[in-house]
Amino acid sequence: MMFIWLFVFILLAIYINLLSKKNAFKNLFYSVKFSKEIAEIDEEFEITSIIENKKMFPITYLNISQEYPEEFKFGEGNNFKGIYKSKMSVLPFQRVKRSFKVSCLKRGRYILKNAELTCGDLLGFETMTQFYETFAEIVVIPKPYLIKKLTPYGSYTGDISVKRWIIEDPLVNIGIKEYTGREPLKQIHWPSTLRQQKIMVKEYDYTTDNNLLIALNIETCKPFWQRIDGEAIEKCISIARSLVDEFETLKIPYGLTSNAQNFLNSTLHNTGLGLSHRLKILEALGRIDYSIFCPFEDIIESKNSIKNTTIVVITPLILDEYVNPINNLIKFYQKVVLITLSHQNTEKITKQIETYFEGE
């Protein structure tokens, strides 16, 4: 009799094991998400994975293999060489949530996908594997660029000055401040200087009618795919980010246009201010890759005149095809500023355009 019960028990165990094997992935759900949508380079954020077993059978063995970008840095300098593996067991109707901290070493758009789940049967005799489609996205925005590293070309002297780009002569006197050594002598306010026994100067601001448009180029040769200079492109993107931060601080409305393939949001061309406007532009800069949808000369030739607007052109270098379109911008804009990382063709740019380059 005992052998009969033992035989029945074995058959029942085999049957239950077959059911657990057959239904291993039934009502088993896996998802992954980031703790934020936008992050800075080296900023820490969390990745959370969630596994839900919505059935009456437990999963005695579960291995999750999730692909991660190689640019991700896990914890104290550790990385999983592109694959993160997590092992666990999951009870019936249990939800398991695991989080860990990550940072990213490089600007860009990152998507998590292609998770591989491996389940074991109830008795641990066999494993089954199934792929799960996941989607989680984070955009890592560029690092700011130290714009003091840019040098004026030609007769311009002194450090690069964003305020100077807006309008040559300030219009509104908003008060008095202490002399820093950068203000011209004509701004000294002598009555205040005598009263306070130190040099005081008039502080000016600019009218709200002034706007700035950044025209960012990521084309480094023709055709663009023949020689892509990623380092130069990244510098230009970082310069654009620094200018956005500067314009936001100065409360000068700004916009952005680019010939990047995935930069097709025309609303960013419109000048604006505020946290939302800034984040949209920084996110757009983070999403840029190295493909273009049109030559840069087509971008700047298509720009219509905008009253009281300064256009700031940022380009890795000045190709021959850019010279005339850039010089023609002075016909349509209040002021034109050119930032380039190379001396190539700078002598062909009209002196009416303030030109800056990297280096001595």
Taking a C-beta distance cutoff of 8 angstroms, is the pair 221, 227 a contact?
A: yes
- The reported pLDDT for the residue numbered 170 is 46
Whole-number Å distance between alpha carbons of 285 and 294: 17
Peptide bond into 69 cis (omega under 30): no
In the chain, the domains with their CATH numbers are 24-141 (2.60.40.10), 147-169+207-358 (3.40.50), 172-205 (no CATH)
Identity of the residue numbered 3 = F
Structure tokens at 63: 């291995």
CA terminus-to-terminus distance, the chain: 97
Whole-number Å distance between alpha carbons of 162 and 212: 10
Whole-number Å distance between alpha carbons of 223 and 128: 49
Using DSSP's 3-state secondary structure scheme, residue 9 falls into: helix
- The reported pLDDT for the residue numbered 46 is 94
In this predicted model, what pLDDT tens digit does every residue of 99-128 receive, in sequence order?
Answer: 989 999 999 999 998 889 988 776 667 788
Taking a C-beta distance cutoff of 8 angstroms, is the pair 48, 35 a contact?
A: yes
Measured torsion, CA atoms of residues 219, 220, 225, 230, in degrees rounded to the nearest 10: -100
Residue with tokens 């914890």, as numbered in its chain: 75
Q: What is the 3-state secondary structure (H, E, C) of 130-191?
A: EEECCCEEEEEECCCCCHHHEEECCCCCCCCCHHHHHCCCCCEEEEEEECCCCCCHHHECHH
Question: Nearest to residue 154, comparing CAs of 346, 358, 359, 322?
Answer: 346
- The reported pLDDT for the residue numbered 129 is 87
- The reported pLDDT for the residue numbered 211 is 86
Residue ranges for the chain with pLDDT beneath 70: 1-23, 76-82, 122-124, 154-174, 182, 204-209, 263-267, 303-307, 359-360
